[in-house]
Amino acid sequence: MNTQMNWLAVYPEIVLLGMSCLVALVDLFVTDPRRTPTYWLTQLTLAVLAGMHFSYFNAGGTVYAMQGMVVSDPMGHLLAAFAAVATIVTLVYARPYAESREMLKGELFTLSLLTYLGICIMVSANNFLVIYLGLELMSLSLYTLVALRRDHAVSTEAAMKYFVLGALASGFLLYGLSMMYGATGSLSIPRVFEVISTGAPNKSVLIFGVVFVVAGLGFKLGAAPFHMWVPDVYQGAPTAATLLLGGAPKLAAFAITIRLLVEGMLGLAVDWQQMLIVLAVMSLLVGNLAAIAQTNLKRMLAYSTIAQMGFMLLGLASGVVNNNTLSAANAYSSAMFYAVTYVLTTLGSFGMIMLLSRQGHESEQISDLAGLAKRSPWYALVMTIFMFSLAGIPPTAGFYAKLSVLQALVSTNVQLYLWLAVAAVLVSLVGAFYYLRVIKVMFFDEPSDRSALTAPTDVRLVMSLNGAAVLVFGLLPGGLMNMCAQAIVRTLAS
């Protein structure tokens, strides 16, 4: 591999690292309490990175660099581009919220960029060590972001829980990867794939390693029974940090799941697909049933996340049927579409919580939305679109995402997957209750506060575009679905 190609493959990450350092230095000289220069420099950096990744995706090529440790392929670039857009939207929503809570510091922007750098490293990794490097960079930045409000006891408690359980998850994943290395003799994902495909001698060690890898991925995705950190951290963290944690990093978790399980361990699909099915069913049950009892909106959305990850795992678990991979591209692209639309909807849901919050008051109880339709019909309509999408009600993006996963399950013509599709629909019907309850509170309950809602122009604009995007991708899902399908097909073909 020539040196020029090495640098071109990691050019976006080099730019991002340089700009992260520059933002940290520039902020030292910023006296504006609103951190305007730092904020716009961060947003410009993310916008440039999104443009770079979209252009790389359109080029469509796959390049291996850095001694094969890094891969520049369509799936990685598309997920990195979407993660950049998600981080841009998150910071737009977070700025007024952080300012009113004395969190608007240079650390917020620098750590957001470093989190995104970790995501970029993860989605472009072609080696176990690079995946772990990106994961730890992202995780350490997120631990700090959750604890950014140092004088707030609940946030500090959430950060401690997230740190301890996150370290446990990283240990699970690292132990599993070390066992895969011991069984195959390589840290390179393509080499691991080759060894497993040719019939590795240490099958029992491989299976044991896969168990730990899947457990580690389950922690990062927030899937049951590894979900115990999600409700407490989502509720306890400042909402800005919750969105930075629950948005773009989900795309990175999806990427490393594809890299490890599909690109590296496809020969063991029979084993890890069974584990994913168990995780998916448990996540759907635990997430949807526990969410019904919640009165805190952030905690309800946390359990909703667990259920949504369960649905996505069903897509990942239906790629290999009877030892053939004919349905793999369809299944994995459906799961990728689901992950992207989930992040899009999550941005708006938590963005609305931040918009409704004010100085000294967190609008995170479901009752805080009471009478929103009378205070602001437009925001109530936008929030309704987000709730409809999470519930999978047409004509929103969430409906088509669920439909595409169900179609991937049904198209296998295997009885187990048909029953899983039926079960997923039934559990989702139960889950629709708590989303519709939010809508009922907004439109039919009397508001305790009748004051008009005020928000900066950029927040109002982005919130409206966010709601419109959820609606448009539900009415016209073909473009985004084709992008996901192209990314998966080109990546698997390489």
Tell me the C-alpha distance between 128 and 134, whole Å: 10
Is the confidence at residue 29, as pLDDT, over 70?
yes
Q: In this predicted model, what pLDDT tens digit does every residue of 223-242 receive, in sequence order?
A: 988 888 999 999 999 999 99
Q: In this predicted model, what pLDDT tens digit does every residue of 110-134 receive, in sequence order?
A: 999 999 999 999 999 999 999 999 9
What confidence score (pLDDT) does residue 3 get? 56
- Please compute, for residue 184, the number of CA atoms within 13 A of its CA located in the half-sphere on the CB side: 30
What confidence score (pLDDT) does residue 108 get? 92
Q: In this predicted model, what pLDDT tens digit does every residue of 410-433 receive, in sequence order?
A: 998 889 999 999 999 999 898 899
Tell me the C-alpha distance between 122 and 12, whole Å: 13
**Gyration radius from the chain CA atoms:** 22
Average of per-residue pLDDT values in the chain: 90
What confidence score (pLDDT) does residue 21 get? 94
What confidence score (pLDDT) does residue 214 get? 94
What confidence score (pLDDT) does residue 201 get? 66
What confidence score (pLDDT) does residue 1 get? 46
pLDDT classification of 199: cutoffs 50, 70, 90: confident
What confidence score (pLDDT) does residue 359 get? 61
Mean pLDDT of 269-279: 92
What confidence score (pLDDT) does residue 5 get? 65
What confidence score (pLDDT) does residue 404 get? 94
With CA atoms as reference, report the closest residue to 129 among 168, 99, 92, 173: 173
pTM of the model: 0.95
Tell me the C-alpha distance between 2 and 6, whole Å: 7
With CA atoms as reference, report the closest residue to 283 among 261, 263, 309, 264: 309
- Cα–chain center distance at 300: 17
**Any idea where the domains of the chain sit in the sequence?**
3-493
Q: Does a cis peptide bond (omega within 30 degrees of 0) precede residue 395?
A: yes
Phi and psi at 320, nearest 5°, equal -115, 120
Identify the residue with better confidence: 360 or 437: 437
What confidence score (pLDDT) does residue 102 get? 80
Tell me the C-alpha distance between 252 and 221, whole Å: 9
Q: Which of 20-29, 62-71, 169-178 is predicted least confidently?
A: 62-71
Where is 65: in which H helix or E strand? Answer: strand 63-65
